[in-house]
């Protein structure tokens, strides 16, 4: 898996992962903070936090989609894969993983195309939120970005599996 190892050592690759981590931490803290401020304002200060839902919508979309991107990179999405329990041949497992990744990549590509169309439509529409007039592209555009990176990470995992050997399966805990 030399070519993948070289990719993982690139500064831009590490920077990309660091940016994703920073976005996840920041949006998590912002979401919790916004909700906390909303509760304090509503129940203690007895005033309304105007636009809370609109701000939280943007923050939550970034948290959701970047979380999906990072989950795609770490390959920790929820899976109902029981094949590894019953299939003991690493060659058959490898073929099965390749098939699953190709199907995932195809589905992700279709959704990324639709996400692009939707993002372009939102951009051309120039829509804004009702209260604070936040451009909708800030929350809706994350869908295309998320699906695009999920597709790229699917390609990354597909290459890793194609290049893998039986020793790689043993070394990685046969996952």
Render each residue's pLDDT in the chain as its tens digit; 175 residues: 566 778 888 899 999 999 999 999 999 999 999 999 999 999 999 999 999 999 999 999 999 999 999 999 998 876 666 777 777 788 888 899 899 999 999 999 999 999 999 999 999 999 899 999 999 999 999 999 999 999 999 999 999 999 888 776 665 554 4
Identify whether the C-beta of residue 141 lies closer than 8 Å to the C-beta of residue 119: yes
Question: What pLDDT does 147 receive?
Answer: 95
Question: What pLDDT does 175 receive?
Answer: 46
Burial status of residue 152 (CB atoms within 10 A of its CB: 0-12, 13-18, 19 or more): middle
0.75 cut: is pTM over it?
yes
Identify whether the C-beta of residue 159 lies closer than 8 Å to the C-beta of residue 5: no
């Amino acid at each position: 898996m030399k070519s993948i190892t070289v990719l993982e050592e690139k500064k831009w690759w590490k920077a990309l992962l660091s940016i994703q981590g920073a976005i996840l931490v920041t949006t998590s803290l912002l979401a919790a903070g916004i909700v906390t401020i909303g509760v304090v304002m509503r129940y203690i200060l007895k005033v309304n936090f105007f636009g809370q839902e609109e701000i939280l919508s943007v923050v939550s979309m970034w948290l959701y989609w970047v979380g999906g991107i990072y989950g795609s990179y770490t390959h920790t999405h929820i899976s109902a894969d029981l094949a590894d329990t019953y299939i003991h041949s690493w060659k058959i497992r490898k073929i099965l993983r390749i098939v699953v990744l190709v199907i995932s990549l195809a589905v992700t590509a279709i959704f990324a195309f639709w996400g692009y169309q939707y993002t372009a439509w939102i951009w051309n529409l120039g829509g804004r939120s009702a209260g604070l007039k936040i451009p909708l592209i800030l929350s809706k555009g994350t869908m295309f970005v998320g699906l695009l990176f999920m597709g790229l990470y699917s390609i990354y995992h597909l290459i890793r599996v194609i290049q893998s050997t039986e020793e790689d399966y043993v070394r990685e805990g046969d996952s």
